[in-house]
Amino acid sequence: MRKILISGASRGIGKAIAFKLLKEGHSLSLGVRKKEDLINTCLDPRLNNPESFLVHNYDATDQTSSKLWVERTVKTFRNIDTIIHCAGIFKRTNLIFNDNDMQDIEELWKVNVMGPWILTKDAWQYLSNNTSARIIVLVSMSGKRSKSNLASYSMSKFALMSLCQTMRNEGWEKGIRVTAICPGWVNTDMAKEINHFPKKDMTQANDIANICSNLLDLPNSSVPFEIALNCQLETTL
């Protein structure tokens, strides 16, 4: 069984992954901004063994919270062998943006790029002590192509994909395997304003949770770097 950090675990894809991996018996350390979102769910810390289940405050824009989360997890589990990066935000910032949009652009950069970077850095020494550590990053199809006019969001996701490639390069000889999962529309709160595509036809969060579960079972020799999945046909890819 693995000892896993999951960021963004209070909702959407991160929550679905946590549900799945908890049922499979892994030790989970969940990084969330609002612990109350987990109350009265199976991820409620009051309902789980404190020796194998931890919920910690985590803000991807706060470097200190990342360090404290990693330290608390190691103190509790004595090790970390997996990170699943799910924390992320979505902003509709155009190429020709207004001056008051700069805050949105900076927030996208801090959360979508620097958050995973800093958390990985803080946990790197522990990942490196394992022979089959895993880093799974929820990137997006927007990290593979820029669609429509989502300039800042695509920028952050392209940068995140580049970061995944560097993680893979740096961690390969240490046995760290990295997978970038790149979905299109997923039926979560992030897609709630999408009206032109039925929610039932979108990729479901539970499907991505199943993919993550399978990735954790694969040997180092068979871990894919990139998994692209889309509920729509895109012939340009």
d(CA 128, CA 73): 16
Average pLDDT, whole number, for the chain? 94
Lowest mean pLDDT of 69-78, 150-159, 183-192, 223-232, name the range.
183-192
Return the pLDDT at 237.
59
- HEC profile for 14-43? HHHHHHHHHHCCCEEEEEECCHHHHCCCCC
CA-wise closest residue to 184 among 213, 167, 215, 207: 207
What pLDDT band is residue 6 in, cutting at 50, 70 and 90?
very high
**Confidence class for position 236, pLDDT limits 50, 70, 90:** low
153 part of the active site: yes
Cα gap 140→190, rounded to integer Å: 12
Name the active-site residue from 58, 69, 124, 153: 153
Cα 93 to Cα 146: distance, rounded to the nearest angstrom: 13
Domains by residue range for the chain, with CATH = 3-229 (3.40.50.720)
Q: Which two tokens stand for residue 187?
A: 């039926």
Of residues 197 and 75, the one with the higher pLDDT is 75
Record the pTM: 0.95
Give residue 198's pLDDT.
87
Q: State the distance between the two ends of the chain, measured CA to CA, in whole angstroms.
A: 36
Q: What is the pLDDT of residues 105-160, one digit of tens each?
A: 999 999 999 999 999 999 999 999 999 999 999 999 999 998 888 899 999 999 99
pLDDT on residue 10: 92
Residue 205 above 90 pLDDT? yes
Which residues are CB-contacts of 114 (< 8 A; sequence separation ≥ 6)?
60, 61
- Rounded distance, CA 209 to CA 166, Å? 24
